[in-house]
Amino acid sequence: MPVSQPVPATTPVTPVARLVTELSVTGVGQLALGLAVLAVGLTSADLDPERVLVPFAVVFVVMCGLSVYQSRWMRQSPAPPVDPAARLEEPPDTTRRSLVGILPAIVAVSVCTIVAPGLGVIVGGVVAAVGVIDLRNRVWAQDRERETGADLLRELGRSPFATGRRPLYTLPRKASTLRT
């Protein structure tokens, strides 16, 4: 019978990704998806243009306000230095993971647009608004990186669909240059 060996106690390595990359991909993807649904609604023979534009605009404005409020933690959050042992995700991997995270929105918008085009336009307005605020937060993150001279990193979630308040960290630019 094999004898089991004790497993050495090690702390898990925290995987992180550049926040600006995540926000760029999710922002552009969600905004494009929302605008595509708007275009489908406007070209639909079933809906009058005002029955498309008004709900989209109202939901878009409301969700922009809510998203700005919900994401304030990111702008106000202190970002401690990242653990030197942290694994920095490569940009193409961050892009792929962020695109996978948009899949639920694609499915929701597609199903709603097929079942009820008016509902699809409303859901598209929500998705577009979240995308715009991701792009706004990207600009904020780029400004903060310029001011501090450090990259903003975000801890990866346990799932590609993980969003929300994942911890932020910083990595001085000189250190990030040395790592690559």
Count of C-beta atoms within a 10 Å radius of residue 21 = 23
Radius of gyration of the chain (CA): 20
Structural domain including 30 reads: 15-179
Most confident listed range (7-21, 122-136, 148-162)? 122-136
Q: Which of 14-23, 139-148, 149-158 has the lowest mean pLDDT?
A: 149-158
Residue 5 lies in a domain: no
8 versus 154: the higher-pLDDT residue is 154
Residue 10 lies in a domain: no
Residue 4 lies in a domain: no
Residue 69 lies in a domain: yes
Which pLDDT value is given to residue 38? 95
What is the pTM for the complete model shown? Answer: 0.84
Residue 3 lies in a domain: no
Percent of the chain topping pLDDT 90: 63
Percent of the chain topping pLDDT 70: 86
Indicate the SS3 state at residue 150.
strand
- Residue where the block lists tokens 């304030």: 72
In a 13 Å sphere around the CA of 138, the CA atoms on its Cβ side amount to 16
Average pLDDT of the residues of the chain: 87
